[in-house]
Structures are given as C-alpha cells and as structure tokens.
Structure 1
Amino acid sequence: MSSSTRATPTREVRALRIVQAKDSPLYIFMLRADEILNFADISRVSRDEAGKLIGYQRPQVRKHIQEIVEYLDSDVPIFPNPIIMALAPEVTFRSTRGGNRHPDDGVSDTGRLTIPLPEAGKTKPAWIVDGQQRALALSRAQRRDFPVPITAFVADTVNLQRDQFVRINNTKPLPRGLVTELLPEVDSPLPARLAIRQAPSKLCDVLNTDNSSPFVGMIKRASMSGNLPSRAVITDTGIVAMIQESLTSSSGCLYPYRDIGRGETDFDSIIKALIIYWSAVRDVFPEAWGKPPEKSRLMHKAGILAMGRLMDRILGTVDPLHEDAPERIRQHLALVVPHCRWTAGTWDDIGHNWNEIENVTKHVQELSNYLIRIYHSTRRELM
C-alpha cells in the first residue's frame, strides 16, 4: 500500500457521550498519564509577528507542577479532577448500546471514541483547555500508567477553545492579566462581570498596537511572558482599570461615548480621546514617561489611575476631538506639573516619598484627590 493511501493510525477508548446541545456532544473517557501530551498540545498565549493573539494558556508554573508530581508519586494519590480537552473534528464515536446497563435516555450513551493519532510533523488531535499544570505533572510522574479522567468537546477553532478557557477559569485564581488579554478575543456573549471588562480590554489592545498611541508597545500583556520588550513597562490591568472607571462612571469623560439604551459605544472617539490626552501627559512629563514603575510612579498602576481621574476632569472641560485639543490639554496639565513627584522628592500634603506610592486604595485615592485639588485650585487662581 502506498504512503498516499495509508490509513491514519488511531487510538480507540471507551467513552460516555453526553449531548448537552445539538451537534455539540461532550465525551468523558480515560487516558494513561503518559498518553496525554502525546494526544494533546498545550496552547500557551502568545502573539504572532503581526501582533495577533494566539493560544490561551498561562505560562507553566514550575513550583506548582513539582508539587503535583510529588503528590502523584506518593503512596495513595487520588486524581479526581479531569483534564479538559478540545478535540479535532476528525474524532468519531460509535455507540455500543448492548453494553449499557440502562436504556438510552436520549441524553447519554456509552460507546467507543476513535481519536486519530498524531503523525510526525503534524498537529496533534487535541488541545488542553484546562489542566495544563496537571498534564505536565502527569507527564513527569513515575507512574506512567496512572489513569486520568478526560472531559472533551469537539472544537476546530481557537476561538471556541479560548471561549471555553475563559469561562472554565472564570472562578479560579487565573492571572488577571491573562483574562484581561483574552477577553477581546471572545466573540460569544459573556457573563455580565466579564462583559463589562471586555470593552476596556479591547481599547487597551488598540492603545498597545496603534502606532499613533503614546502607549504603543509599552503595555505588559500575559502573552509577552518571558519575552518582554524593554519598553513594556505598564501593566495592562492598570490601563484597563483606568478606562473602565471612566467608561462606567457617569462622571467619567468616556461615559458620554456610550449609548446605553442602544447598547452601542463610539470606540473611535474613545480611542482618539485617550491618545490625545495621554500623548499630552507624555509631553508634559518627558522625564517620567516610559520608565519602569520602580523608577517612575507615573508608569505605576497608581499613577495611571490617578492621572486617569484627572483626565475625567480635564476632558470634561476640553473637547478632545476639537482641533486645538492637544495644546489646550497640555496647558491644563501644566497646572499640576510643578506639584508632581513621579521620579524624586516627596508629595506635598500627601507626605509620601515618590517611591512609596503603591497600588492600594488609600494611596490611589490620596494621589487622585491631590492632583484634582491642585488642578482646580490653580485654575481658580488664574481665572
């Protein structure tokens, strides 16, 4: 038989098929510890050369993996949590009704699940959606035949895998930055708690990739782990929190760009406003811009949030879409410049040294109030 007609090797396992939605069965079966990573890839979050997000898994945590390995190598390990996988559409299921003890209830049945085995140089037939650390630990455990429960669904697109990853990890201690970065890539409706973060996260993405943005390439994202460019100094959670505050508060300068009744948001105008304001911030604080937060508290999450609240006041006075907005915003910011201590000195009234400002509610509130108070009092003196 020629290689062109050679049958694809397969692995057949006993499985329970559960039909939760039409054409979207869920399979529950068992694999040995040493089989998991032979079948499934771990799709870690990263970005391609064009900056597009690919993958969805968090970077591996060595200490956590080693703890699982030590437990698996103990005398009586119990491993009840399944590995959740997305399967390629090439898998097939054949019901074996004669082996069922109970009549088929129309929702579940048992049978044989046939999974194509990966060939050299080709994509594996499954991807791990939840259980990355456990899968890596199992591959390193001494007991190679340890039985592991698998829960799987068929998904031939990364978008569907990513959607399930965000939902499954929603209540787990998943790094906030990773969820923040993944949210713009999820197309299906999200729970309200995540949906309210989706728009700010999309805007954060634009600010980090648009060449006209003062933040381009400066925002740390989970996909950059281990490969951060030197200019990436700002946490994305700080940028997202700053945007979210302004978008969701009725006193925020970005709030008017939302049409709540129609469920629409003028993203183009929001991006223009953010770029114009933060470009002015960069211009009036050149010595503090672009430095890591340990050298400049302007780049610290506390500084981003405080300057974001000042943004709400300034853009409440200056129309950011007007042609003279950049110069006018710089003039407004100049009122607070002499009073700022981003890289050295002690903040007046607050009493904190520049590098004592931390991302805690008290410090953020103190810094925000101080900047807004100085801004308004100086404006009154000049009027």
Structure 2
Amino acid sequence: MNKTLKVPALRIRQGKERQLFSLAIEGKNITRVAAISRIRRGEEDLLGYQRPEVQSHIREIQRYIESENPMIPNPVIIAFDERVEFESSQENSDIGYLVIPVSDNEDFIKPGFIVDGQQRTAALRDAEIESFMMPVSAFIANNDEEQREQFMLVNSTKPLPKTLLHELAPHTKGRLPSDLQARKFPSLLTQRLNFGEGPLKGKIKTATNPEGIIADTSIIKMLDASLKEGALYRFRDPETGMGDESKMLSVLNHFWSAVKEVFSEDWEKKPRDSRLLHGVGVLSLGSLMDEIDQLYMTIKGSEVRGEPTPYDFFKAELETIKDVCHWSSGAWDFGKDIEGQPIKRRWNELQNLSKDISLVTDYLVDYYQNS
C-alpha cells in the first residue's frame, strides 16, 4: 500500500511559471523518494541521463558524514513527477508542505530523479549514522526530457565526461550552453552513425558504447567542419543548422565504406596500432571527403546537387592517395620545409594535436588536388 511523505517546504516562484521548492529530507529517505537514472540505450532511443557512481568519491563523503561534526550545505537537486503536490499552509501562501508518495513495494516507481547529488545521496544511504537532514532543492518536471535538460544545465560547468554531454545534447529541446548547443546536430549524426547501420556502427566511443575505438570528439569535429563548408553543407538548413539527416548519413556511410575498403588492412586496428581511426586519420580524411565531394559536384553539375556522392566515386578517388598513406607502418614524406629540409614522420609519431592533424590534412588535400 502506498503512503505519503509530507515535508515542510518553501515555494519559490521563478519567471512566469517556474516553481522551485526548498526543503530538508532525512538523508536516508532520499533514496525512498528519488532514483538515479543512469544513462543507457533502449532499442531505439537514449534513456536516462546520469553518470555511474564513483565509489572512491562516495567513500570519502561517507567518511566525512560519519565524522564528529559534518555539514553539507549544498542541496541535492531532485526532479519530481506530477504525483508530487505542494500544499499551502494558508491560501496563496508560499509556505507549506510537499506531499511525496512513497512505498516499500519493489515494483513502486519512485516519483523523483536525482538531477545533482547522486554521490552525496549514495554516501548518506551507506553511512552508519542515525540521522542527517539533507537540504534539497526540488522542482516538478513535466517529462523525462525536462529532467535531462536540467541535469545538463546544472552540470555543464562541472568536469562531467564530454562523451556523456555530447550523447545527451541531441535529446534536449531547451537552450544549452553555447558550446553544447553548437554540437547538438553533429552529436546527433554521430549517434546515427554509431547505432545505425553502416561502417562506423559500434566503433565510436560514447557513454553508452565505451567499447568503441574512435573518440566521439574526433567524429563530431569532422562532422561540424563538413556541415559548415563541406560535403554535408548542401543538405543543411541554414536557418536551423540541422538538415536532411538521411542524405547526410548516405554521404558519410558511402565515404567511410570506401575508406574501409581501400584501407582494409588498417580498418580493424585500434588507434594505438594505426592512425586511420585515430583523430589524425578521422579529421584529415574528413577534409578529403569534402574535397572529393566538391569534385563530384563539379563534374556532374547542378543536377546532382540534391543527391549524395556515391560509394564508387569515393572509392575510386581514395585509391589515388592510398600509396602515400602510412597509417600503421613506415613513414610519411611531407616534402620539404622552407629551408629545404625534408619533413618525414614515422606513422606512430603522429599525435592527436592540431599541428599534426593540419600536417596530414594539408598533405593529403594538396596531393589529391595535384594528382
């Protein structure tokens, strides 16, 4: 049988419709009313939004809570669903009670999700103490998307893993910090590549795919550059910054399928054993994709403007630069510097640094344009 927990609360009105609630809850009761929604993937969509617990940090907090005179002034932030209600102590008063349903039934879906403070909550749960009142800031969310949006806004200035923020960004509709806002569509395309059908399926390392071998930041940078002035630009909506996902994904899958075929010996190797799917390879080849696409447009004319560049064209053009690439053996010959000295770099000397990425990119594009 479900019961309710009635907690004194102060209602704080913000903006036209926003309502926050300031309250204090017995620390060990927080996990009775609120769950931690860890990020994971369903069959077709992203579920949850939290990072995994960090046990070493939790133990440190637990030891502090068990010390002689602990104090934790920072509130846990909880997003409640619409089952939670505010009862004013008097008519139109902002002082009253938050009424929260609770139950000891294992099948009971808790009405709250912890937006910020999962480690403090876990430490309180495990601490050997009789009582510890914890400050809580709460709001009532309309849906999971609003909870996710608030989680990102609260945590955007903290050292959260970038892979987690990138994977969450496309699934929020609210305005995010400018750097995350700019990455929303490239991050969405990255997820389509990683979890759809194509040569990059499962290869991109993200919060829900930690076994991937390609850094998501490399893919996102490659996509962002192409959206701004490359092969994906012609399928882009300049007003929204988004565009025709299907055609963009066709271009990308055609190109990377061609890369997989032309450089088959390097394709299955990890970045430490090959620079093909390393930041250097991904970004330099991304620039080459844009060059090949431009040539295709020049040859075929405006009648193909709305059609993705085909796999066969990408493959034939990549064959022209295959012999000068040294992704996993030998040395790159980058010509001579301004003093006439040869510039040669062993394959494994190339690092994921802007200077090395520019060196390989400029070399491949120049060689391709002049071959």
Matched residue, 1:202: 188
Which region of structure 1 is more displaced relative to structure 2, 20-29 or 321-330?
321-330
Which region of structure 1 is more displaced relative to structure 2, 174-183 or 127-136?
127-136
8 Å contact 2:251–2:310 — kept in the other structure?
A: no
Judging changes above 3 Å, is the alpha-carbon distance between structure 1 residues 76 and 323 closer, same or farther for their aligned structure 2 residues?
Answer: closer
Deviations 1:56-101 (A, max 9, x none): 0012222222332233333443312111111121112221249xxx
Matched residue, 1:116: 101
Work out which of the residue numbers 158, 168, 172 in structure 2 matches 1:172: 158
Work out which of the residue numbers 343, 346, 349 in structure 1 matches 2:331: 346
8 Å contact 1:33–1:138 — kept in the other structure?
A: yes
Partners in 1 of 2:132 and 2:239 — Cα distance? 55
Task: Spell out the pairing of 1:1-383 with structure 2 (5 A cutoff).
Answer: 8-21=2-15, 24-48=18-42, 50-97=43-90, 109-120=94-105, 121-211=107-197, 213-225=198-210, 228=211, 232-248=212-228, 250=229, 252-261=230-239, 265-319=243-297, 325-349=310-334, 351-377=344-370, 379=371
Which region of structure 1 is more displaced relative to structure 2, 303-312 or 60-69?
60-69
Aligned-pair identity in percent equals 39
8 Å contact 1:46–1:224 — kept in the other structure?
A: no
8 Å contact 1:347–1:354 — kept in the other structure?
A: yes
8 Å contact 1:241–1:305 — kept in the other structure?
A: yes
Deviations 1:302-347 (A, max 9, x none): 2211111121222121248768832222121112211212122222
Matched residue, 1:102: none
Judging changes above 3 Å, is the alpha-carbon distance between structure 1 residues 179 and 332 closer, same or farther for their aligned structure 2 residues?
Answer: same
- 1:214 partner SS: coil
- 2:273 partner SS: coil
Judging changes above 3 Å, is the alpha-carbon distance between structure 1 residues 269 and 175 closer, same or farther for their aligned structure 2 residues?
Answer: same
- 2:183 partner SS: helix
Deviations 1:217-254 (A, max 9, x none): 222220234xx4xxx32222221111012212x3x232
Q: What letter matches 2:313 in structure 1? A: R
- Equivalent residues, number: 355
Judging changes above 3 Å, is the alpha-carbon distance between structure 1 residues 264 and 241 closer, same or farther for their aligned structure 2 residues?
Answer: closer
**Structure 1 position 156, deviation (Å):** 4.6
Deviations 1:162-194 (A, max 9, x none): 111111112211111111101111123434332
**Structure 1 position 205, deviation (Å):** 1.4
Q: What letter matches 1:207 in structure 2? A: L
Judging changes above 3 Å, is the alpha-carbon distance between structure 1 residues 360 and 68 closer, same or farther for their aligned structure 2 residues?
Answer: farther
**Structure 1 position 55, deviation (Å):** 0.4
Which region of structure 1 is more displaced relative to structure 2, 116-125 or 14-23?
14-23
Q: What letter matches 1:375 in structure 2? A: Y
Partners in 2 of 1:371 and 1:75 — Cα distance? 65
Deviations 1:247-298 (A, max 9, x none): 12x3x23223324257662333222211111111111011111332222221
- 1:152 partner SS: strand
Deviations 1:110-149 (A, max 9, x none): 1111111133121112111111222222222333422211
TM-score, structure 2 normalization: 0.88
Partners in 1 of 2:358 and 2:178 — Cα distance? 26
**Structure 1 position 357, deviation (Å):** 2.3
Judging changes above 3 Å, is the alpha-carbon distance between structure 1 residues 75 and 344 closer, same or farther for their aligned structure 2 residues?
Answer: farther
Partners in 1 of 2:70 and 2:331 — Cα distance? 56
Partners in 1 of 2:14 and 2:133 — Cα distance? 25
Partners in 2 of 1:97 and 1:351 — Cα distance? 79
Q: What letter matches 1:85 in structure 2? A: I
- 1:143 partner SS: coil
8 Å contact 1:33–1:144 — kept in the other structure?
A: no
Q: What letter matches 2:257 in structure 1? A: S
Unaligned runs of 5+ in 2: 298-303, 335-342
TM-score, structure 1 normalization: 0.85
Judging changes above 3 Å, is the alpha-carbon distance between structure 1 residues 262 and 303 closer, same or farther for their aligned structure 2 residues?
Answer: closer
Matched residue, 1:103: none
Partners in 1 of 2:174 and 2:287 — Cα distance? 32
CA RMSD of aligned residues (A): 2.3
8 Å contact 1:82–1:149 — kept in the other structure?
A: yes
Partners in 1 of 2:209 and 2:25 — Cα distance? 32
Partners in 2 of 1:162 and 1:323 — Cα distance? 34
Unaligned runs of 5+ in 1: 1-5, 99-105
8 Å contact 1:318–1:325 — kept in the other structure?
A: no
Q: What letter matches 1:340 in structure 2? A: C
